[in-house]
A and B are shown apart, each in its own frame.
Chain A
Amino acid sequence: MSGEANVRTLTVDGEEISARADQTILEAAREHNVGIPTLCHLEGLSEVGACRLCLVEVKGARRLLPACVTRVEEGMEVTTHSPKIDRYRTMILELFFAERNHICSICVANGNCELQSLALTLGMTHVEIPYQYPQLPVDASHPRFTVDHNRCVLCTRCVRVCSEIEGANTWGVMGRGAQSLVITDLKEPWGDSETCTSCGKCVQVCPTGALFEKSSVGSKVRKHPEFLPYLRIMREEDQA
């Protein structure tokens, strides 16, 4: 395939842009400084389309499509912001907040939480959906880290980074729907996991306070998910 055939031209919010054929709407939009909110997406990890915050309108499509897993197509007309999309996104956020116990004031991630900042930037002022207040466990068996399922949004970043970058495959998901839980090994306590290398990448990529370092409680510790693309590049160079 020639280089030219690899290029697709599409419009995003009325502006014509070009993108490589293997790019997603999200990648193409961000390359052209069009902001689309995301939560489960993280540069350096594969896409799963779990959170649905990146939903966009594509002319001709009967439903909203997740920008992170939808490839660009020639002539595609994409709308990233509209009253309908904003309403959907706010509702999705409300569902996140209602589904588990997100108590920002006492959370280790308060002030450095992607869910919290999305709520602020997308203008989520109320949660109209009844809170579920599930009784979820906290696993503090690992010497350095804790997982608090009350704050987990099931983005699976921990699962992906553990598999794709660290190669340990410690994290997985059990259960279905809102009852799903991220688990270590076959639901062993994290501290008993034989596969966990204690590298801490899962903690660094977790967007909320679900995974945190015990020593960071009470500190204004920022997580550093931005290391991932560099790590990936270095790995690829090593292998080459």
Chain B
Amino acid sequence: MPRTIVIDPVTRLEGHGKITLQLDDSGVVQDATFHVTQLRGFEKFCEGRPFYEMPNITARICGICPVSHLVASSKACDAILAVKIPPVAADLRRIMNLAQLVQSHALSFFYLSSPDLLLGMDAPAEERSILHVAHTHPSIGADGVALRQFGQRIIELLAGRRIHPGWTVPGGVNEPLSAEKRDQILGMIPAARAAIQRTLGWFKGAIEKFSAEIEVFANFPTLFMGLVDEHGLAEYYDGSLRIIDSEGNVIAGELNPAHYAEFIGEAVEPYTYMKFPYYKPLGYPGGTYRVGPLARLNLADRCNTPLADVEWREFRAMSPKPVLSSFHYHYARLIEMLNATETIELLLADKAILDKHVRATASVNNLEGVGVAEAPRGTLIHHYKVDENGLITWANLVIATGHNNAAMNRGILQTARHYVQGEHVAEGMLNRVEAVVRTFDPCLSCSTHAMGRMPLAVELRAPDGSLIREVRRG
């Protein structure tokens, strides 16, 4: 008899989601779906609010990556003001965005995924937590806590608070950096960098143990998308969008992020509130692409800082083509953290970073604005339309996690087909199905904003679990 396995909730990721695996008579996985079952609705209830409130409102989408939303939203508001913000303000936002990247990557790698990596995918479920890692591998646990603290502390020094800081505003930032705070941040960098290098050391040594997982953890050809600077190097705050194929060819370069709607479409599926963005010229699902650390390291010509570039070369040497297994998101995350500490140091070394002119002022000069930045999980797009007084009339948020939605679903199916079979399914096998999702570090609470008539499925099942009737709408 066909059987359904439901993993609900999927643990150790941000937000609430569930996975359904459909098995046929012989216990072979036929289909797998990843359901994001919550709806946030920000796109709708922001309507009518003044645009300059948007950074603060949209930052509330997420407690993990409020800075990403602050940055993308502020950039969309800059576009509505039609100002070029002071260069120091852009650099200060850059630093905060990178600090956010470090703390978020540390959360994903250490808090959420290190139990799988250090204790094994088959370790007892009750032991697979950061608390147990702190017990069995105290120095690694301490590095994770310290790196998260490093990122959060920089955000606090710049913006006054660690979560939901209001410092990034339309036109720039609202307070310059003091020499004292700059020196404090610079003083924290060596220890953070050493922690990242230690982590890279043990992680690279452990990769071999996961060759089976690497083979089936969303390991398939897709496109990759992310920001690059004018020289084609990895960029997190500005620049143009680049899309490469699975062979490494640039199929679209120097795309203006503000014109995202021309090349990105959003498909919907009946089983989830999360949309499925795709590259329009190739349609859906052919135009499936991945974003985030793996994509960024695959598509950039290099990282742009010395230590990270060495690691980047080693990373890319794993494959003559782009690295396709999503397991390597973990690896890419560590290299990006290293790159972030170097870039923060470079930006702070410039005396101009203490410049006092940090905000441009203007009123509404454009009735539409798009802001794009790289969030830890990938490209984040905020797009607003306003009336002549600056009240929001329409908003579209394309969240990093959403870009990866199609790849996550395919990855779950690939992993499940490999590990889940027959009547008896071990818990460790199902943990691998969850672990493939964790490689993407999805933030589900960030990712669902559309309002309207959502698809709904009602399943009527007999006591033995067999499906009697199914009603769908949408």
Chain A residues in contact with chain B, CB under 8 A? 105-106, 108, 137-141, 143, 146, 148, 191, 214-215, 217-220
Contact = CB atoms under 8 A, between A and B. Distances in A.
B390 interface: yes
Nearest to B55: A218
Interface of B: 48-50, 52-53, 55-57, 60, 160, 164, 166-170, 174, 361, 363, 389-391
Given A215-B361, A217-B169, A218-B168, A106 B53 contact: yes
Contacts of A146: 50
Contacts of A219: 166, 169, 174
B50 A106 contact: no
Contacts, number: 46
Contact of B363 (A138, A143, A220): A143
Given A218-B55, A219-B169, A191 B60 contact: no
A138 B169 CA distance: 20
A140 B164 contact: no
Contact of B50 (A105, A138, A143, A191): A138
Q: Is the interface of B mostly helix, strand, loop or mixed?
A: loop
19 contacts: A105-B60, A106-B53, A106-B56, A106-B57, A137-B48, A138-B49, A139-B389, A140-B389, A143-B363, A148-B50, A191-B389, A214-B50, A214-B363, A217-B50, A217-B53, A217-B56, A218-B52, A218-B166, A220-B160
Contact of A138 (B48, B56, B168, B174): B48
Contacts of B160: 220
A99 B275 CA distance: 36
Contacts of A215: 361
A156 B389 CA distance: 25
Nearest to B70: A218
A215 B170 CA distance: 9
B180 to A, nearest CB: 19
A215 B174 CA distance: 10
List of 10 A-B pairs having minimum Cβ-Cβ separation, nearest first: A218-B169, A140-B389, A217-B52, A218-B166, A219-B174, A106-B56, A141-B389, A106-B57, A140-B50, A140-B390
A191 B56 CA distance: 25
B367 to A, nearest CB: 14
Interface centre among B49, B53, B168, B169 (most CB of A within 10 A): B53
A105 B361 CA distance: 24
B48 A218 contact: no
Contacts of A148: 50
